[in-house]
């Protein structure tokens, strides 16, 4: 049985009265989870207000990006949306809370749109990418066109970039991503 392509990773923390230590990336450990991409770029974002929403983003082939996302300050709700053409789970999404406190990470492979909303002020997010930024391949879909249950108070309008206010809807998106036979399943 194949496992879901999107993975919630919970690195182990080793703590004592001084604090803790964690290994947040190890090539052999990730290979054992089926994550075999090579990461070539690290990104870091800071969002000052709560309910800043970044996404839903991806890079199209031939410059698609696998991403390994973690929150190093504050809390976010991180999501991945299946946008692989002909996938039985096309348009479905999974999400998880990532925080500096829980140390969890989300692996989002090529063929999935990625986005997150900050759940408190002053959040910092870092993520590894398997390809460098390619502006000509930059793409996205509207954050509110998928039916994601974003954890925001009723009536909240998230803080968006100008780019994210102009993204096309999922219904209007013609996916260039092939389906690889792996179904999106709930995170475990």
N residues, the chain: 188
What is the distance between the alpha carbons of residues 26 and 10, in angstroms, rounded to a whole number? 13
What is the distance between the alpha carbons of residues 127 and 106, in angstroms, rounded to a whole number? 9
pLDDT recorded at residue 4: 87
Domain for residue 17, yes or no? no
Residue 1's pLDDT band (cuts 50, 70, 90): very low
Domain for residue 142, yes or no? yes
Active site residue 127: yes
Mean confidence (pLDDT) of the chain:
96
- Residue 126 belongs to domain with CATH number: 2.60.120.10
What is the distance between the alpha carbons of residues 141 and 127, in angstroms, rounded to a whole number? 20
Mean pLDDT score, 117-125: 98
What is the distance between the alpha carbons of residues 117 and 77, in angstroms, rounded to a whole number? 5
Domain for residue 81, yes or no? yes
Domain for residue 1, yes or no? no
Q: Alpha carbon 122 to chain centroid distance? A: 19
Domain for residue 172, yes or no? yes
Mean pLDDT score, 145-156: 96
Quick: pLDDT tens for 132-142. Answer: 999 999 999 99
pLDDT recorded at residue 3: 77
Active site residue 57: yes
Domain for residue 11, yes or no? no
What is the distance between the alpha carbons of residues 66 and 185, in angstroms, rounded to a whole number? 18
Q: Which of 77, 90, 114, 127 is labelled catalytic?
A: 127
Domain for residue 36, yes or no? yes
Number of folded domains that form the chain:
1
Domain for residue 3, yes or no? no
Residue 23 reports pLDDT greater than 80: yes
Q: Which of 14, 57, 90, 104 is labelled catalytic?
A: 57
Quick: pLDDT tens for 30-43. Answer: 999 999 999 999 99
Domain hosting 72: range is 23-148+155-178
Note the pTM of the prediction, 2 decimals. Answer: 0.95
Residues of the chain with pLDDT > 90, as a percent, come to 97
């Amino acid at each position: 049985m194949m496992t879901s392509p999107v993975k919630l990773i919970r690195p182990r923390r080793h703590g004592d009265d001084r604090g803790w230590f964690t290994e947040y990336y190890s090539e052999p450990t990730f290979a054992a989870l089926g994550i075999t991409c090579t990461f070539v770029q690290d990104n870091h974002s800071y969002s000052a207000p709560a309910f800043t929403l970044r996404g839903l983003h991806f890079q199209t082939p031939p410059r698609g990006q696998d991403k390994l996302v973690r929150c190093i300050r504050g809390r976010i709700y991180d999501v991945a949306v299946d946008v692989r053409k002909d996938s039985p789970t096309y348009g479905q999404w999974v999400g998880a809370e990532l925080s500096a406190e829980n140390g969890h990470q989300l692996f989002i492979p090529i063929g999935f749109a990625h986005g997150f909303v900050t759940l408190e002020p002053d959040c910092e997010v870092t993520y590894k990418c398997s390809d460098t930024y390619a502006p000509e391949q930059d793409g996205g879909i509207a954050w509110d066109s998928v039916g994601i249950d974003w954890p925001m108070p009723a009536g909240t309008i998230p803080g968006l970039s100008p780019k994210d206010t102009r993204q096309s809807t999922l219904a209007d998106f013609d996916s260039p991503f092939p389906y690889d036979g792996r179904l999106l399943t709930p995170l475990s």
